[in-house]
């Protein structure tokens, strides 16, 4: 996660890090004014779907980006509940492009 964090921060996005699903939920409660939440699907303490569900309960309008290499998930899972599933967590360029689009949509450039 640290390489991804550095890359995102170097692209002028503020990054708040959590290392477990529960910590991520608690961190989001403390810092709710974010444009998006990026979740690594391979959390140790909770599955990605549960973390996403609990974050969406706190803010139904937040965009959740779930980095997931499992190919059986739909490649473009962007829906009305604003959940995006990215296949390749190593594809930094695609993640940065997506975060930029989210920032533009939120009015932050």
pLDDT tens per residue, range 7-55: 777 777 778 888 899 999 999 999 988 888 888 877 889 888 888 889 9
Q: What is the pLDDT of residues 48-79, one digit of tens each?
A: 888 888 999 999 888 888 887 655 444 444 34
pLDDT at 104: 84
Q: How far apart are CA 49 and CA 55, in angstroms?
A: 10
Q: Is residue 46 part of a domain?
A: yes
| Structural domain count, the chain | 1
Token digits of residue 32: 């709710």
Q: Residue 95: which CATH number?
A: 3.40.50.2300
Q: Is residue 108 part of a domain?
A: no
Instruction: Name beta bridge partners: 37.
Output: 64
Residue with tokens 């930094």: 92
Token digits of residue 44: 């140790």
Q: How far apart are CA 24 and CA 41, in angstroms?
A: 13
Q: Is residue 51 part of a domain?
A: yes
pLDDT at 52: 87
């Amino acid at each position: 996660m640290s390489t991804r964090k550095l890359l995102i921060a170097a692209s002028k996005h503020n990054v708040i890090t959590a290392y477990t699903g529960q910590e991520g939920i608690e961190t989001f409660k403390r810092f709710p004014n974010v444009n998006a939440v990026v979740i690594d699907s391979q959390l140790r303490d909770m599955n990605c779907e549960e973390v996403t569900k609990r974050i969406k309960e706190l803010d139904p309008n937040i965009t959740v980006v779930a980095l997931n290499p499992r190919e059986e998930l739909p490649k473009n899972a962007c829906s009305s509940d604003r959940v995006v599933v990215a296949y390749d967590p190593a594809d930094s360029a695609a993640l940065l492009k997506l975060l930029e689009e989210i920032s533009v949509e939120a009015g932050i450039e």
